Amino acid sequence: MKKNKLIPIDIDLQPGHAIRRLHQISVGVFLQELGDLGVTPVQYAALQVVANQPGIDQRTLARAIALDASTTGGVVDRLETRGWLERRMSPDDRRTRLLFLTAAGERGLSDAVPGMLRAQDQILAPLTASQREEFMRLLLILVTQNNELSRAPSDSKARPATPAG
């Protein structure tokens, strides 16, 4: 029986591996900046989207932050238990719950924004201003063009990078 010869591959040069490592770094930096608030990157994303779109339903929130419905439900449950989000019955459909930030959620999000912005700056710190713009431009192309390959595609439309990321 003939043995297949394995080709040595440097995983550090593979885009998927580098993206996974950058994600680990991104989460680590985010938690370092916001650890005292006890907010995860996904919770921050949910809070920010609800703040941007008060009254959004949970299914639309899930699509906006590219999570499956059950994971989003857990995120919303934790934020609701914490007193940062509230669910209200939709006047149009009794089965649909609409999401709103509470006063505590607004304060929590307001407290989180400076740390989130510091985290973004720290992640991109090794790049020059022009490299940051190019990196974000290319990253958004990859995310947008590969969106449908995700297990939880996003409905968000990628926009040109802004100073806040």
CATH topology of domain 31-149: Arc Repressor Mutant, subunit A (1.10.10)
Strand 85-89: give its sheet, edge to edge.
56-57, 97-101, 85-89
Give yes or no for a contact between 97 and 58, defined as CB atoms under 8 angstroms apart. Answer: yes
Domain ranges of the chain: 31-149
pLDDT at 78: 97
The CA distance from 122 to 86, in Å, is 32
Mean pLDDT for each 10-residue chunk of the chain (165 residues)?
84 94 96 94 97 95 93 96 95 90 98 97 97 96 91 67 42
Radius of gyration, CA atoms only, the chain: 19
- Reported for 100-104, long-range contacts at CB under 8 A and 24+ positions apart, including other chains, are 100/50, 100/54, 100/55, 101/47, 101/50, 101/51, 101/54
pLDDT at 58: 93
pLDDT at 77: 97
pLDDT at 157: 55
The CA distance from 47 to 55, in Å, is 12
